[in-house]
Structure 1
Amino acid sequence: MNAAFPQNLNVRTMRNNAGQNQSQFWEPIGITQSGGSRYESGRSMPKPVAALVRLVHQLGIDISKVNADKASMIRLLLSDQIDPEVLAALRKLAATAQALEQAAASDAPPPDSQSAAA
């Protein structure tokens, strides 16, 4: 079994923790409410569905925004063909963007604004 995509996902717990009903949880990955209900009740989940659940609900990827251009960038990031310094800079940029999103969600000033005001 691939450790990156465990097959023992407890999707009902994931959905309840997210505060979503079945339609809200399953629609972003193209699964009907009734299909999702069957997975939550113990029906075996195909590996591609489990991978989509992980991408969308554990990693926060909006798969509806993935297009051919973005897919080529994702493939490059996942390959060993990218300069380590470029990859480190991208990680730093991603961390900054995530901090700014969290600050905006909590109505707190961005991290740089706090240090600039001091």
Structure 2
Amino acid sequence: MKNAETIDVREIRRKLGLNQSQFWSKIGVTQSGGSRYESGRNIPRPVQALLRLVHIEQIDISKVKKDDMEVAEYLKATNPDLYKSLKKEARAKKKERS
């Protein structure tokens, strides 16, 4: 994902056909907070990560468990090459299903 400051979040939301409330509530941000981000306010890194996961990667975060995240972070820290390889493989499989 490009740096969030260079991404037009409003354009992503519009392409998805969502209003601000629908778009931002999926990642736990209020409509007014999302409006400020769309108007140029800096987006915090955790919110950037959620934007990428939910609206770009199309991951249903309600199905992600804490254990999943801990395993991913451990793998990323201890074996970055394997992590990248598995991530690439998962994306390829996701594209096949689409």
TM-score using structure 1 length = 0.62
Instruction: State the superposition RMSD in angstroms.
Output: 2.7
What secondary structure is seen at the aligned counterpart in 2 of 1:29?
Answer: coil
- After superposition, the Cα gap between the structure-2 partners of 1:17 and 1:97, relative to the gap in structure 1 and judged at 3 Å, is closer
Give the structure 1 partner of residue 61 of structure 2: 63
Unaligned runs of 5+ in 2: none
Among 3, 8, 26, the residue aligned to 1:6: 3
Within 2, Cα distance between the matches of 1:16 and 1:48? 22
Using the TM superposition, give the Cα deviation of residue 65 of structure 1 relative to its aligned residue in structure 2, in angstroms.
1.8
Using the TM superposition, give the Cα deviation of residue 97 of structure 1 relative to its aligned residue in structure 2, in angstroms.
5.0
TM-score using structure 2 length = 0.71
Within 1, Cα distance between the matches of 2:44 and 2:81? 35
Q: Give yes or no for contact 1:26–1:33 (8 Å, CA) kept in 2.
A: yes
What percent of counterpart residues are identical? 46
- Provide, for residues 48-80 of structure 1, a one-character-per-residue CA deviation record: whole Å limited to 9, x for no partner: 212221222122222222212211332244244
Within 1, Cα distance between the matches of 2:42 and 2:55? 18
- Provide, for residues 6-47 of structure 1, a one-character-per-residue CA deviation record: whole Å limited to 9, x for no partner: 131211011011111111211111001111111112222222
Alignment of 1:82-101 (within 5 A): 84=82, 87=85, 91=89, 95-96=92-93, 98-99=95-96, 101=97
